[in-house]
Amino acid sequence: GENVEQHPSTLSVQEGDSAVIKCTYSDSASNYFPWYKQELGKGPQLIIDIRSNVGEKKDQRIAVTLNKTAKHFSLHITETQPEDSAVYFCAARTGTASKLTFGTGTRLQVTL
Amino acid sequence: EAGVAQSPRYKIIEKRQSVAFWCNPISGHATLYWYQQILGQGPKLLIQFQNNGVVDDSQLPKDRFSAERLKGVDSTLKIQPAKLEDSAVYLCASSLVKAAPLHFGNGTRLTVT
């Protein structure tokens, strides 16, 4: 089955700096890669996703890039703000019926 | 739109007891998922329903876990008997169709003592 590795496990940045979280996946047939943000005591919330026919997608301060050859994808957050502090999860899915496999999460802390 | 509703928010039980969790998905969402999230880990799929039929329950410990989705709307997940290693957050999610993005509820935090 699919295996998703995520790095780093923790990331501390100063407000206004950029943050990058990287994930690798094992199944070359995976075609959908969402990113979720989870705040304390809440469920994961989808923040951005990308499909395998696209190399990059941007939504205001967040962007995701996908390298199918290397089987890795990354989340980029620019101009970080304290409210960006949370745990971020990447995930990958193969086909339309297969389950979503999550990474182990990255705890992002944005300091003033 | 109203989000995915789950109850209870917290539950503490002793090992070998039974527990049930309830989920009400977003209205009109055909696909419903139950995930288990152990502290410090990513969510792991337990079971996926398409309407009221099971699509994937390959990672559900069927000797102790059961789930149903009657009438293709609400769902319940039951654990009987519970073990210490079942302590986790149980997340329910729904999607409009199988390939659509998942929307998660806030989960039920289970502590087994």
pLDDT tens column, A48-95? 999 988 899 999 999 999 999 999 999 999 999 999 999 999 999 987
Q: What is the pLDDT of residue B47?
A: 96
Which range has the worst mean pLDDT, A27-36, A88-97, B5-14, B32-41? A88-97
Q: Using an 8 Å CB-CB cutoff, list residues of chain A that contact chain B.
A: 4, 6, 32, 34, 36, 41-46, 49, 89, 91, 96-100, 102-105
Separation between Cα atoms, residue B112 and residue B10, nearest integer Å: 11
Question: Closest Cα of chain A to B98: distance in Å?
Answer: 6
Q: Is A50 helix (H, G, I), strand (E, B) or coil?
A: strand
Separation between Cα atoms, residue B89 and residue B11, nearest integer Å: 10
Residue A97 has pLDDT above 80, yes or no: no
By Cβ distance, the residue of A41, A98, A100 closest to B102 is A100
Nearest-by-CA chain B residue for A95: B99
